[in-house]
Structure 1
Amino acid sequence: MKQIIVCIFTFSLVNCSVLGVLKDKVPKPEFSFESLNIKEITLTDITLNMVTSVENPYPLSLPKSLLEMDLNIEGTKLSHISTDLGAIESKKTKDLSFEIKIKYEDIVKLYQKIPGKALLTVGIDGNLKVPLPSSLAMVGQDSISFPFQKQREIPAVLPSVDIKNFKILIPTKDEITSSANTSTVASTAISFLDGLLSGKSKTQAASSAASAGLSNLDLKLNTEFDLNFQNKAASELLFQDLNYDLKLGGEKFLKGTPKEIINNGKESIVKVNTAFPVNTISSGLYKTIQSKTAGFDLNGGSGLQVPGLGETMKFNYAKNGKFSW
């Protein structure tokens, strides 16, 4: 009887030892924190893009990757994030990316507490949990967790944009005449543009270039305006390669990439000198220009640099409203 007990005990020890060795040899998923970058800055928020990766060594899919994460700025907790980043296919390494949107309205009070601080430290403290299917019982765990922490700096920004110094320049009679192929077209163009741009109260039958018979007139109206960007927080903003798309009264008007950008600390002025063809003036655009008051939609983007951050960020802007000139 004693021999049987000894055998059973010895067998148990050997069995446990074998299982332990097997568990040690079973591969486990591997985790890597790849990056935390600024995806874009807009007039309302900053979007960060976090990228992690998990390698699945098993011949079957892992159904979930559960993210729990706290976001803080300058040590102040801003939000808690809880989400599923999705399944990880068998024998694959998957990039698990997640966008973090920081709205200015949520951090404006923080700006007020540290008004001169141009760069703010963003911290993330999280855990990625990967549940394991029951068929992987040999791993000895029902899930594997990967804790992580990461910090980076972001600019203190609260940007705005306005249209200023808007002018549509009246061409001279000589310029109009040289662009017209007949004296009749020249006379019609002079009358049409006088009614459009002079500011005088004038009623005329034609309310578009087409209805005035100017569809073939090869004349452009020079237009000037400034895009005035300001940052009401502490960072200096350096714009580059800026583009714009401007609609007036809901109609396409002007778009381009201005060459002159005056960066002056927390204010930047983009000088726009452009022109648009007279023959594209519709009845709606005619009324808008003649009234010198317009509802506008302004969209665009640029590269953006901030002193102290060694990277060029993407800046996108969109604004609508009314302005007069």
Structure 2
Amino acid sequence: MAEIAFEAQVAAYRRELLLHCYRLLGSLTDAEDVLQETLLAAWRGLDGFEGRASLRSWLYRIATNRCLNALRDRGRRVPPEPKPPFQPPPPSRHGDVPWLQPYPDTLLVPDAEPGPEARYTAREAVELAFVAALQRLPPRQAAVLVLCDVLGYPLGEAAPMLGATPTAVKGLLQRARASLVRHRAESSGGGQHADAPEPESAQERDLVRRFADAFTADDIDTLVTLLTDDAWLAMPPAPHEYHGVAAIASFLRASAAWSAGRRPLLDPTRANGQPAFTCRLAGEPAGVIVLTLAGDRVRGITRFLILDDGFLRRFDRDVRRLSNPQWN
């Protein structure tokens, strides 16, 4: 009975805790592992919960510290770099967050009533560029920034979650804010552009459909007309990044020559609040593609080279086949 009561108490917080762990770890796989550790620790420590803080704050304290422990004890779980089956052109640069994974919109829940300290909207705080920038911060800085600027905890509440003084947390937060602005400016994408189409709007669906048509047909000439001049292509966990239309076109032509007419199947979905696709080639998983939009163009293509069909099926729950009338 006690276990049933515990499950009922924490059920409302499972999804937001998973998202919290994902923001700090950048990996859905790792976030799921740490969430299980968090719930187990909470279950074992339930007798010691004295109610001085809310149950939600207590769970966030455990989750935050479990994430920090995981980063300290295990480090970043850097996946092996995939080897392309063809000779790609030299990349424009190398990415530094190879463990980054997409997050299915079907798992998103609104952050529960963020306080007045919150600086980021729910949409901004889940975008790929934001999550990637968090990975470049020292872990405790990232934790403070998420607790205060995303979830809206005041310094006085965030400090005991980290076993620190409000003064120390204030210093961490100031450094985190300055570093985050710099990392977002330097990183690929910089988040959805201010004039990106509204999610699920007719303008967004039209642009995404035109991208899918060109991509599946290996129509590189049409595809590049859909890109902004400063567009980029990234492929975690591969470090290669291609910046600018010419560099992207060069890579896509090399890829198309290797595929030799074998057309990928793209299933529209959403990830990190952005339009996305699961991708399969000859029936086999070939990754998840997430688009970053700017106006009526595509500014960024992040193709996650994830070949685990179980991972892709997490996105299939929200899949709308391209044959769906709304995509025609």
- Classify the TM-score, shorter chain: under 0.3
Q: Which has the higher contact order (CA 8 A, sep 6+)?
A: 2
Name the TM-score, length of structure 2 as normaliser: 0.23
Report which of the two structures shows the higher radius of gyration computed on alpha carbons. Answer: 1
Q: Which has the higher helix share?
A: 2
Q: Which has the higher strand share?
A: 1
